[in-house]
Amino acid sequence: MIPSVLPTYNRAPLQFVKGEGSWLIEADGRRFLDLGAGIAVNALGHAHPALVAALTEQAGALWHTSNLYHIPQQQALADKLVAATFADTVFFTNSGTESCELAVKMARKYFFEKDQPERVDILTFDGSFHGRSSAGIAAAGSEKMTHGFGPLLPGFKHLPFGDHDALTAAIDNKTAAILVEPIQGEGGIRPLPDVCLKGLRDLCDEHGLLLILDEVQCGVGRTGKLFAHEWAGIEPDIMMVAKGIGGGFPLGAVLAKAEAALGMTAGTHGSTYGGNPLGCAVGNAVMDHVTAPGFLDDVNRKAGLLRQKLEALVAGYPSVFEEVRGSGLMLGLKCVPPVGDVVSAAYDAEMAIVPAAENTARLLPPLTITDDEISEAVKRLEAVAHQVATTSDEQPA
């Protein structure tokens, strides 16, 4: 018999009833150090007082009106995002997947309006992840995500990660845009080096293409800048955002330059819930915190501390960990034994970490994690490494 919840997830045998800062708490009181943050969602940790206050205040005033009317919280959040980024305009969604949908539509509409309707193709990369909608799976193109779901939305070309020559060769008169994550999250914390991101920008400028960045996982302070592409000193034309922007409330956004958004006039796109007062009340509180003076400096300082300790851990347990990769508080530990074993051992050590491709365990703690919690996390990771190393030693050759 099929379970009452559609069985599409492989869930861990854990259930939490409460969250406090960097901690998740089970009904029996067991406290787990949360280095997953809902997969880079709880940017300010669990039950942050400012977010709780923003949400409850808004809940007492007005939940929902639809986008038939002006929504002041939405306007305020859009103004903040425009002031803080490359963007001239923002559309609010409820998730990263929906942000992907609009990014693709916006790029195609741009070329349609520019009398180049043949330009529909979007170039994407192996190992990428852009959500689970028809456009999202077609964009990523992996067998794992697309198997059995055909016919796939046409107009995506998949290229090897980091192969500049293949990319250049793939550009033709049907190409509209390049879509890329500055750091692949699901793909195993694979950063695109700054020089490559700059190269993509140059390539787009040279061929008149739009550069679409998917910062759903790496954005909103996660790498120590408000958005990850800022490290490379470039600007995209369109950017997908979600996860951290809502701090745990379902909220996403597409940010764009005026030129890229020129086709998106009244009636061309919409969402019932996108930019709803509750979501935007929380989003405003998140933005106020992440952009407050000193917040990102502290993220960078803590990221340095964690990285240093993780490098030492990897050096101490070469039979368990191969390398640390990533940026800021978006880090990956490439594992030697199956990553599933490492994640299970972390659960035994009362700590949540997140598996990803390339046999990598993701560490995506709340940006508010404290120095003491970082030390505690590394202590628990050492226990994990010890347990996994001992277990593999015991296995018959």
Ligand X SMILES: Cc1ncc(COP(=O)(O)O)c(C=O)c1O
Task: Report whether 124 belongs to an annotated binding site.
Answer: no
- Following DSSP, what letter does each residue of 192-239 receive, concatenated? PPHHHHHHHHHHHHHHTPEEEEE-TTTTTTTTSSSSGGGGGT---SEE
Contact status: 101 vs ligand X (CB under 6 A): no
Q: What character string, x for contact with ligand X (CB under 6 A) and - otherwise, covers 35-64?
A: ----x-------------------------
CA atoms within 13 A on the CB side of 350: 14
Least Å distance between CB 390 and ligand X? 33
Of 22, 95, 124, 175, the one binding ligand X by CB under 6 A: 95
Contact status: 130 vs ligand X (CB under 6 A): yes
Stretch that binds ligand X, among 17-25, 59-67, 89-97, 305-313 (CB under 6 A): 89-97
Q: Closest by alpha carbon to 215, among 40, 362, 346?
A: 40
- Following DSSP, what letter does each residue of 7-44 receive, concatenated? S-----S--EEEEEBTEEEETT--EEEESSHHHHT-TT
Of 204, 242, 256, 282, the one binding ligand X by CB under 6 A: 242
Q: How many residues bind ligand X (CB under 6 A)?
A: 15
Of 91, 92, 111, 129, the one binding ligand X by CB under 6 A: 129
DSSP 8-state symbol, 46 = B
Beta bridge partners of 395: none
- Following DSSP, what letter does each residue of 234-298 receive, concatenated? ---SEEEE-GGGGBTB--EEEEE-TTTTTT--TTS---SSTT-HHHHHHHHHHHHHHTSTTHHHH
| Nearer Cβ to ligand X (129/249) | 129
| Nearer Cβ to ligand X (181/373) | 181
Asked if residue 366 lies in contact with residue 298, where contact means CB atoms within 8 angstroms, the answer is: no
Least Å distance between CB 130 and ligand X? 5
| Nearer Cβ to ligand X (314/343) | 343
| Nearer Cβ to ligand X (186/373) | 186
Task: Report whether 214 belongs to an annotated binding site.
Answer: yes
Contact status: 96 vs ligand X (CB under 6 A): yes
Task: Report whether 370 belongs to an annotated binding site.
Answer: no
Least Å distance between CB 104 and ligand X? 12
d(CA 239, CA 178): 11
Angle, helices 49-61 vs 277-290, to 10°: value is 150
DSSP 8-state symbol, 3 = -
| Nearer Cβ to ligand X (111/129) | 129
- 144-183 residues in contact with ligand X (CB under 6 A) are 181
Least Å distance between CB 128 and ligand X? 7
Stretch that binds ligand X, among 125-133, 279-287, 305-313, 328-336 (CB under 6 A): 125-133
In this structure, the strands spanning 330-335 and 23-26 are unpaired
Asked if residue 297 lies in contact with residue 337, where contact means CB atoms within 8 angstroms, the answer is: no
Asked whether the bond before 151 is cis by omega within 30 degrees of 0, the reply is: yes
- Following DSSP, what letter does each residue of 347-391 receive, concatenated? HHTTEE-EEETTTEEEE---TT--HHHHHHHHHHHHHHHHHHHHH
Least Å distance between CB 386 and ligand X? 31
Task: Report whether 341 belongs to an annotated binding site.
Answer: no
- 209-228 residues in contact with ligand X (CB under 6 A) are 214, 216-217
Task: Report whether 387 belongs to an annotated binding site.
Answer: no
Quote the tokens at residue 255. Answer: 């940010």
| Nearer Cβ to ligand X (97/359) | 97
Task: Report whether 129 belongs to an annotated binding site.
Answer: yes
- 334-373 residues in contact with ligand X (CB under 6 A) are none
Q: Can you give the binding site for ligand X, defined by CB under 6 A?
A: 39, 95-97, 100, 129-131, 181, 185-186, 214, 216-217, 242
Name the binding residues for N(2)-acetyl-L-ornithine. 132, 271
Name the binding residues. 96-97, 129, 132, 214-217, 271-272
